[in-house]
Structure 1
Amino acid sequence: MTGRRRPSPRPSPTASATARWAAGTAVLASLLTGCGSLPGTGPAEKTPITVMTWAPEGTGATNMPGMPAMAQTYARWVNASGGLAGHPLKVLTCNDHNDSVGATRCAQRAVDEGAVAVVGAYSQFGRSFMSPLEVKGVPYIGGYGASDEEFESPLSYPVNGGQASLLAGNGRQLARECDRVALVRPDTIQGDQMPSFLDSGLQQGHRAPVTDVRAPEDGTDYSAAVHRALDAVGADPARYGVAAYGGEAPGSCVAASLGDHTDAFFDSFRRLQQQSPKVHVASVLGSVGQALVNRTGGRSGPLEGALVTGWYPAAGDPRWNPMRRVINEHAFGDNRVDPADQGVQTTWIAYTVLRAMVEQLDADGVDEITPYALQKVLDQGKHPVDTGGLTPKLRWRAEDMLAVQDFPRIVNGMVMYQTVADGQVLAASDGFVNVARTLERRRADR
């Protein structure tokens, strides 16, 4: 007779629970020691990086709302892609209201809220915002270039040559065609420097110094300034009829750089120009752009044929395609983020620099991103920052600084010549124009 096999005893519920707990503990221990991972999970998130971008908005003078809007757009893009070398990016924004008190408050808020840098910002009040940053060692990366302190402070890392390079470049542009030049500029401390910069370019072309025409920064009617400018170049309708030169005033040029209010200036200019000999007009990007050309009549407006100097390639250049894709996908229709705006472009480049510095620190094994760590890696300049051809490769070692009087932090002396043709702002040169020597020879005691 064959015996029946006895069944094995079934484990008790308590024993089964203990086994499952032990197995789960083993898996957890494996994960914590980096020896395993759960499906769909990755490494722990790194410490967030907080930065600030500020600019004036809703004021009666120059406004730059696209700069903080571009910063927020950039943050959405990098965070959707894993952050900066794994660090989530938090962007604080602030409105400096175009006054010194507002600038100080923005800088103090950046310090108080733990920003490791101010990136891609705009303010005319460098004396007010730079001191709070310097006290805490917070770097100022890629400012717009609207204040002297951005090119003086050892904690500032500019990505362009500021107002200085634009006006020097515009002077060189004008020297090709103009015997007489009048510059209409704001009656401000910043405006007081403009004539000497434009002169540096004119003098390199062996032209006479510019006639300085001061105007209100926040004016609405610039008829008086237009009359003074036209009179200075021999084309004021109050003294010269259209027939004086057969409808033209060869060699006569008027340049205007009034920020947002350049729009109002050219509106006044258009009305008076109809009664005067025609003169050549010029400006710098930031005061003139495609939006202004469109508003003033396009190809039939006063800006047709204008000579324009900018820091970067023309807005339609394919080198801007990466920025355009980010705007299209992450700005969510925010019309403040205009890819043709030099403020938006500067903010994009400034955040490109920030990303390169964080990635360099990560490669060096630095886990905690602090103001000091950023300052150190920027000063060392181990590798130049490639901005995709939007600027020369950038770094801020002592040997990279240009010898520009009063502006020792300038490292990029390149500009781009542009012109308005058929109502479009287009490139007028094949590549960058180096105005470093022009700036270095400038006399500041005009």
Structure 2
Amino acid sequence: MTGIGRRRSSSPSLLRTVAAVGSACLLAGCGVIPGATGGSREPLTVMTWAPENSRATNMPGMPAMGQAYARWVNSQGGVGGRELRVLTCNEGNAPMEAAACARRAVQEGAVAVVGSYSQHGRAFMPRLEAAGIPYIGGYGLSDDEFKSPTSYPVNGGQPALLAGNGLQLADSCDRVSLVRPDSVTGADLPYILNAGLTRGHHRKAADIPTADDAGAYTEEARRSREQVGDDGGCVTAALGEHTANFFDSFRRLPPDGRDVRVSSVLGSVDQPLIDRTGGANGPFEGAYVTGWYPEAGDERWGAMKRVIREHAFADNRIDPADAGVQTTWIAYTVLKSVVESLGDQEITPGAIIHALDRGVRVDTGGLTPPLRWRYEDMLGTPATPRTVNHQVTFQVVRMGRLVAHKEGFVDVGPTLREAAAL
């Protein structure tokens, strides 16, 4: 038994072995964490996933934004002195692939999944819950994102957009047609849009369900125009990436003398899509669009644009006007605030969840209201109880650019509560 302070002899061969190992470590960088302060703290591993190269909506800019954020924050000394390691995964718009991404996050020791896109919450959320991994700033597509106790949404999701779209159109359109996916998720959209319309003392919209992955929508376009009446009105569509296909079919209809305006929500229509389809000469000129955040030209996006410019290395997947990229930026802002609030504590999934549940307040520089996820901050509706940000913005396309239709944010919380009661 070796007592404290007892001298131990070391053989020359042992000393040579130790010296050799030490020299090898110096050459190989043993124990040195690139980007971390002094190599004294373990890197933070997180994951961002989104679909790429799928038949439905693709969001390659979201993982790319996560990687650019990591390059930027690591150049500044990391997050709270820790190197940020961002894993990415192709969610593929498929339940099995979404579940595989979640399994990989668990296997790789991710402390959070951040700024990701998936409509398959039932496939991935139980795996994250079982491992106690927080889901911070999902895009807001699935009910699970707004129900899971380990999910921390940064926007109000599709429900907030549709409720806001109803309020926006109630003041501008005589009649409204809604073209939406013929799916379980899409079935709720008419109720939410109508809650906004009726709150604005407007009649309910005509409901036109359809496939969300079709190449053309000629019949649906014809029906949507017929339903708005002889005096014209508005046609709104929420078909994700295929919204452009619908409005292309819509503008190809033979003229009938009526002035029908088009509308949509951010994510289905955004500045990159407007640019690709002709800008001021395209189908979206004059369109009403409801969003979660300020328009892309707002100065509050300046910090994000600077990071993209300096650390994305001309990655053409990242467009600062894309709602997915914007959501990922805000989600990583949340992660940074939470980790910094923990100081020298060990950063684990449980520590992050505890800090969020205890009420860490996140300032996003005016891109959203201040974010908190205490019980009293949550909307509490049955379908989306964990919503804490129920503000939206009204935008319109003028001269090919999305600009503010109404200044500031609009609170759709009361409208969402009314929709929940229908």
- Is 1:53 matched with 2:34? no
Instruction: Report what 1:293 is aligned to.
Output: 274
Question: What secondary structure sits across from 1:349 in the alignment?
Answer: helix
Instruction: Report what 1:22 is aligned to.
Output: none
- Cα distance, 1:438 vs structure 2: 0.8
- Cα distance, 1:302 vs structure 2: 2.3
- Is 1:359 matched with 2:344? no
Per the alignment, do residues 443 and 278 of structure 1 end up closer, same or farther by CA in structure 2, a change over 3 Å counting? same
Query: How far does the alpha carbon of each residue in 1:142-172 deviate from its partner, in whole angstroms, 9 at most, with x for none?
Result: 0000110000001000000000000100100
1:409-428 aligned within 5 A: 409-428=386-405
Gaps of 5+ in 1: 1-40, 236-248
- Is 1:219 matched with 2:214? yes
- Cα distance, 1:67 vs structure 2: 0.4
- Cα distance, 1:291 vs structure 2: 2.0
Instruction: Report what 1:389 is aligned to.
Output: 366
- The one-letter amino acid of 1:126's match is G
Instruction: Report what 2:13 is aligned to.
Output: none
Instruction: Report what 1:92 is aligned to.
Output: 87
Query: How far does the alpha carbon of each residue in 1:224-254 deviate from its partner, in whole angstroms, 9 at most, with x for none?
Result: 110111111126xxxxxxxxxxxxx34x110
1:53-72 aligned within 5 A: 53-72=48-67
- Is 1:375 matched with 2:356? no
- The one-letter amino acid of 1:138's match is I
Instruction: Report what 1:442 is aligned to.
Output: 419
Question: What secondary structure sits across from 2:367 in the alignment?
Answer: coil
Answer whether contact 1:50 1:89 (CA < 8 A) is retained: yes
- Cα distance, 1:276 vs structure 2: 5.0
Answer whether contact 1:172 1:205 (CA < 8 A) is retained: yes
Q: Partners of 2:185 and 2:51 in 1: how far apart?
A: 16
Per the alignment, do residues 208 and 42 of structure 1 end up closer, same or farther by CA in structure 2, a change over 3 Å counting? closer
Question: What secondary structure sits across from 2:393 in the alignment?
Answer: strand
Q: Partners of 1:42 and 1:187 in 2: how far apart?
A: 52
Q: Partners of 2:275 and 2:37 in 1: how far apart?
A: 49
Q: Partners of 1:91 and 1:110 in 2: how far apart?
A: 11
- 297-306 vs 333-342, which deviates more? 297-306
Instruction: Report what 1:31 is aligned to.
Output: none
- The one-letter amino acid of 1:73's match is A
Answer whether contact 1:187 1:216 (CA < 8 A) is retained: yes
- Cα distance, 1:256 vs structure 2: 0.7
Query: How far does the alpha carbon of each residue in 1:367-413 deviate from its partner, in whole angstroms, 9 at most, with x for none?
Result: x21000000001001x4100000000001000000132311000001
Question: What secondary structure sits across from 1:432 in the alignment?
Answer: strand
Q: Partners of 2:143 and 2:164 in 1: how far apart?
A: 18
Instruction: Report what 2:317 is aligned to.
Output: 336
Q: Partners of 1:273 and 1:305 in 2: how far apart?
A: 19
Question: What secondary structure sits across from 1:267 in the alignment?
Answer: helix
Instruction: Report what 1:257 is aligned to.
Output: 238
- 43-52 vs 220-229, which deviates more? 43-52
- Cα distance, 1:73 vs structure 2: 0.5
- Is 1:187 matched with 2:179? no
- Cα distance, 1:263 vs structure 2: 1.0
- The one-letter amino acid of 1:259's match is G
Question: What secondary structure sits across from 1:442 in the alignment?
Answer: helix
Instruction: Report what 2:286 is aligned to.
Output: 305
Question: What secondary structure sits across from 1:303 in the alignment?
Answer: coil
Answer whether contact 1:196 1:444 (CA < 8 A) is retained: no
Per the alignment, do residues 223 and 444 of structure 1 end up closer, same or farther by CA in structure 2, a change over 3 Å counting? farther
TM-score, normalization by structure 2: 0.89
Question: What secondary structure sits across from 2:185 in the alignment?
Answer: helix
- The one-letter amino acid of 2:411's match is N
Q: Partners of 2:93 and 2:276 in 1: how far apart?
A: 25
The structure 2 residue matched to 1:196, chosen from 167, 178, 191, is: 191
Instruction: Report what 1:121 is aligned to.
Output: 116
Instruction: Report what 1:176 is aligned to.
Output: 171
- Cα distance, 1:281 vs structure 2: 1.0
- Cα distance, 1:82 vs structure 2: 0.7
Q: Partners of 1:42 and 1:56 in 2: how far apart?
A: 34
Q: Partners of 2:403 and 2:354 in 1: how far apart?
A: 39
Answer whether contact 2:37 2:82 (CA < 8 A) is retained: no
Q: Partners of 2:40 and 2:240 in 1: how far apart?
A: 42
Q: Partners of 2:262 and 2:380 in 1: how far apart?
A: 31
Instruction: Report what 1:402 is aligned to.
Output: 379
Instruction: Report what 2:20 is aligned to.
Output: none
Query: How far does the alpha carbon of each residue in 1:198-234 deviate from its partner, in whole angstroms, 9 at most, with x for none?
Result: 1110010111111111111111011011011111112
Answer whether contact 1:270 1:301 (CA < 8 A) is retained: no
Answer whether contact 2:136 2:335 (CA < 8 A) is retained: yes
Q: Partners of 1:421 and 1:222 in 2: how far apart?
A: 25
- Cα distance, 1:42 vs structure 2: 6.2
Per the alignment, do residues 206 and 42 of structure 1 end up closer, same or farther by CA in structure 2, a change over 3 Å counting? closer
Answer whether contact 2:383 2:420 (CA < 8 A) is retained: no
The structure 2 residue matched to 1:321, chosen from 283, 302, 308, is: 302
Per the alignment, do residues 125 and 276 of structure 1 end up closer, same or farther by CA in structure 2, a change over 3 Å counting? farther
Question: What secondary structure sits across from 1:171 in the alignment?
Answer: helix
| RMSD between aligned residues | 1.4
Gaps of 5+ in 2: 1-35
1:64-83 aligned within 5 A: 64-83=59-78
- Cα distance, 1:301 vs structure 2: 2.4
- The one-letter amino acid of 1:214's match is P
- The one-letter amino acid of 1:323's match is M
- Report % sequence identity: 59
Query: How far does the alpha carbon of each residue in 1:320-372 deviate from its partner, in whole angstroms, 9 at most, with x for none?
Result: 0000000000000011110000000000000000000000001xx41x21000
Structure with larger Rg:
1
Q: Partners of 1:159 and 1:422 in 2: how far apart?
A: 30
- Is 1:107 matched with 2:102? yes
- The one-letter amino acid of 1:395's match is R
Q: Partners of 1:55 and 1:176 in 2: how far apart?
A: 35
Question: What secondary structure sits across from 2:329 in the alignment?
Answer: helix
Q: Partners of 2:254 and 2:236 in 1: how far apart?
A: 14
- Cα distance, 1:187 vs structure 2: 1.3
- The one-letter amino acid of 1:313's match is P
Q: Partners of 2:255 and 2:281 in 1: how far apart?
A: 12
- Cα distance, 1:273 vs structure 2: 5.8
